[in-house]
Amino acid sequence: MLHYLDTKLPQPTPTRRAFLKLSAGAVGGLLIGSVIPMRGVAQSAGAGDTLVTPFVHITPDNRVIVLSKHLDKGQGAATGLATLVAEELDASAEQVEAVFAPSNPEVYQNLLFGVQGTGGSTAMANSFDQYRQAGATARAMIVNAAADAWGVAAGDISVANGVVSGGGNTATLGELAVQAALQEPPAEVSLKAPDDWVYIGKSFPRVELAQKTRGSVGMFGIDAQPEDCLIAVTARPPRFGATLASVDASEALSMPGVVQVLEIPQGVTVLANNTWAAMQAREALVLDWAEGSGETRGTDELMEEFRALLDAPGNPSAPRGDAAARLAEAAQVVEAEYFFPFLAHAPMEPLDMTVLYDGETASFWGGSQIQTLDHGAAAAVLGLEMGQIAINTTWGGGSFGRRATFDSHLAVETATIAKAWLDGGNGARPIKLIYSREDDIRGGYYRPMALHRVRAGLDAEGNIAGWEHRIVSQSIFAGTPFESFVFTEGVDHSTVEGTSDTPYAIPDMHVDVHHPQVGVPPLWWRSVGHTHTAYVMETMMDELAVAAGRDPVEFRLAYLEGEPRLAGALRLAAERAGPAGPDGTSRGVAVHKSFNSYAAEIADVRLRDDGSVKVEKVTCGIDCGVPINPDNIAAQIEGGLGYGLSAVLREEITLTEGEVDQFNYPDYPPLRITDMPEVEVHIVPSTEAPTGIGEPGTPPIGPAVANAVFAATGERVRTLPFSRHGLA
């Protein structure tokens, strides 16, 4: 699909109002009643007469092109949005395709964020009504066009599987697109009753999969190949925050294919005619870095400082009851300390962004995940209005959070290079900035390091009697544009999520938190704070169940009486997992609520002869509201728990004197096929509004496996990853 390479769409300048609108109701009217003229996709379809609405275009050659406002980096958002449109439009599955919407927060904002962006497992949650209404609106215009053309009452016209019928006439959606484009969009549309759904709940096939099996041209950002494109790689400081003292680029500049070397605030950029030349020349730069404000501590020093903070009271998060008093009179107290390392996202497609800037306009191509921030940041660097810039979103080769950054550092660096190139008196040329894998692994924006200490009590009857919980971790949100949503009264909610707001009915609970300053840029990593909080909560619940002599499922259910959905997911998983111990395996259980979805995972684990952990099977129960696409829900649970398992087994970024110790996959080893368990996903039937599915599979897997390891060995793993203990 080549649309994005030659498409430049009009870019209305966003207003401040657009950034402030946060409720779904506030923007619903943008869709209904507004048909904006955009010819980009229609042109590339080779047709001029197309029904164009903000979210769906119908071409005379009978293609239904859904404009995905969300980046799809594997989670299936584009297919999900296409499903919603196809459902209400009554299109055939075969005629539906998806392209990415232009950057325009007025029209394409995430209704939960107020900016155009993808994250927090919100794609379906914020679009469920909006994209169904888009489909219904287009359908009404098609039906009205047919009514006019055939002299048949609109009420006597039906649409099914892409075919419009009435009064003995039939036509395809495409055949009616030209006339439909002349129709006024209806002021209101009604949506189908769930019983009438033909696609929702039925695993609509992914719209792009055939292309992904063929190496199709131009899908990913890194594949952008505009004519005459320069490749850029940047040498960045070895320590975060350090600055350039001097550079000798003479050898690099003498190498074949090298075009220019630029000093930019981010480091030193080599521009070359091909990637290999650029990377080789970067190696040849003679660089001297000044300390600057760089982080100089190592992991051990950071851990020591974090540990000291565990002894001092932190900022409380929703304390309730009197945990200290209950603990003082508890029959048993379980106390544990946990360490979680920095984690890199390491998506398979390293970061990249391509730009063409001519001094007056600029076009960007890449897997932009928060288009509005990237757009604004690029405009600021280039000194342009947002309306002079097009952000062309491409398919993302994974992200797991990495392509969404508060500071838009990739867009900023790409724009900075383009500006430096043009300001240097050169003619406009496309430039593609590429990260190597080493740039990615060593480049920061990690899941921050975290320490937890928990003291939890049991009374004589084996009931939880007081829970004190202290967390030390760098704040992800402090100082970012999203701070006010997440950071209040000294607490970054993304650090404590899953603890103080636990669904368990624990009446006497005191969670507090320290947010030390660390000179390493932190970032959300698939499921954010839940990556560590679920591990602590669920291994601690397991310890308590064992100490109380109670069954781990029954013990959890006793504290979930007010949480029927999480209890339901757990009951379903437990029922389907059957009796523990098939083939000599050991079992561990964990549940966790995140992104408004409810997940239970039951892991059956075996120890290999070398003592390493092999997870044989995971049985999952998931309640994510209306299951729009059951097969994709299963895929996201499989992938989400695989991603979480990868981290707990072997992933760890460490620092020595502020420098990252790891370089590439050999020393930051991801999960491989030999580690992957069989996964069974059971979906709790639901008519609730759809909630997240990209992330909720990740949090429970670590504790489920850790609990199974305890069952097998009697050992509690509290310092991650497992490879530190010979378990992986």
Partner 1 sequence: MTEFTLNGQTQRVEADPDMPLLWVLRDELKLTGTKFGCGVAACGACTVHIDGVPTRSCQTFLGDIEGAEITTIESIDTPEARAIREAWVELQVPQCGYCQSGQIMSASALLAETPKPSDEDIDFAMEGNICRCASYARIRRAIHRAAEIMEA
Binding site for partner 1 (CB under 8 A): 73-76, 205-206, 208-220, 222-223, 225, 231, 256-257, 273-277, 279, 346-350, 395-400, 434, 436-437, 631-632, 635, 638-639, 641-643, 645-646, 664-666, 670-674, 676-679
- Which segments of 540-674 are extended strands (E)? 586-594, 597-607, 613-623, 655-656, 659-660
Nearer to partner 1, 278 or 418 (CB): 278
- Residue 720, classed as helix, strand or coil, is coil
Q: Which of 705, 707, 718, 644 is nearest to 453 (CA)?
A: 718
Give min distance, CB of 237 to partner 1, in A.
21
Nearer Cβ to partner 1, position 82 or 309?
82
Cβ at position 274, least distance to partner 1 in Å:
4
Instruction: Please identify, using beta-carbon distances, which residue of 220 and 504 lies nearer to partner 1.
Output: 220
Alpha carbon distance 434, 108 (integer Å): 27
Residue 74 or 443 with smaller CB distance to partner 1: 74
Give CA–CA dist 59/48, Å, rounded: 8
What is residue 694's DSSP assignment? S
Q: Look-up: residue for tokens 């209404």? A: 133
- 130-150 burial, b at 16+ Cβ within 10 Å, e below that, comes to bbbbbbbbbbbbbbbbbbebb
- Cβ distance to partner 1 smaller for residue 50 or 122: 122
The distance of closest approach from Cβ of residue 615 to partner 1 in the complex, given in angstroms and rounded to an integer, is: 11
Provide, rounded to whole angstroms, the least separation between the CB of residue 309 and partner 1: 33
Q: Are strands 450-458 and 243-248 parallel, antiparallel or unpaired?
A: unpaired
**In the complex with partner 1, which residue's Cβ is closer, 257 or 316?**
257
What distances in angstroms separate CA 119 from CA 82, 371, 629, one per listed residue?
A: 18, 12, 18
Q: 146 with 168: CB under 8 angstroms?
A: no
Q: Which is nearer to partner 1, 60 or 74 (CB)?
A: 74
Nearer to partner 1, 174 or 397 (CB): 397
How far is 479 from 477, CA to CA, in rounded Å? 6
The rounded distance, in Å, linking the Cα atoms of 608 and 616 is 11
Residue placing its CB nearer to partner 1 in the complex, 22 or 676: 676
Q: Is the peptide bond before 721 cis (omega within 30 degrees of 0)?
A: yes
CB of 412 to partner 1, least distance (A): 23
Measured from the CB atom, the residue of 356 and 635 that comes closer to partner 1 is: 635
Tokens 């059956």 belong to which residue? 604
User: Please, what's the b/e burial string for 588-598 (b: 16 or more CB within 10 A of its CB; e: otherwise)?
Assistant: bbbbbbbbbbb
Q: Cβ distance 557 to 571 under 8 Å?
A: yes
DSSP letters spanning 228-256: T-EEEEEE--SBTT-EEEEEE-HHHHHST
Are residues 138 and 53 in contact, defined by beta-carbon separation less than 8 angstroms? yes
Query: Least CB distance from residue 345 to partner 1, whole Å?
Result: 8
Q: Rounded to the nearest 10 degrees, how much is the dihedral formed by the CA atoms of 111, 473, 470, 695?
A: 40
H helix and E strand count, the chain: 23, 29
Q: How far is the CB of 659 from partner 1 (least distance, A)?
A: 19
* Least CB distance to partner 1 at residue 225 (A): 5
Quick one: 218 or 237, whose CB is closer to partner 1?
218
Under DSSP, is residue 658 helix (H, G, I), strand (E, B) or coil? coil
Comparison of 124 and 330: residue with beta carbon closer to partner 1: 124
Least distance to partner 1, CB of residue 476, Å: 21
Select 86 or 219, whichever has its Cβ closest to partner 1: 219
Spell out the SS3 assignment of 552-573.
Answer: HHHHHHHCCCCCHHHHHHHHHH
Cβ closest to partner 1, residue 102 vs residue 350: 350
Least separation, in Å, of the C-beta of 662 and partner 1?
12
Q: Quote the least distance from Cβ 695 to partner 1, whole Å.
A: 13
- Shortest reach from residue 215's CB to partner 1, in Å: 2
Taking the complex as a whole, the smallest distance from the CB of residue 144 to partner 1 amounts, in Å, to 36
Question: 3-class DSSP state for residue 286?
Answer: strand
Q: How far apart are CA 145 and CA 164, in angstroms?
A: 10
What are the CA-CA distances from residue 612 to residues 606, 650, 673, 698, 709 (Å)?
9, 11, 15, 21, 10
**Nearest distance in Å: CB 118, partner 1:** 13
DSSP run (H or E) holding 261: strand 258-264
Q: What is the DSSP string of 454-486?
A: EEEEE-TTS-EEEEEEEEEE--SSTTSTTHHHH
With left for phi above 0 and alpha for psi between -120 and 50, is residue 227 left, alpha or beta?
A: beta
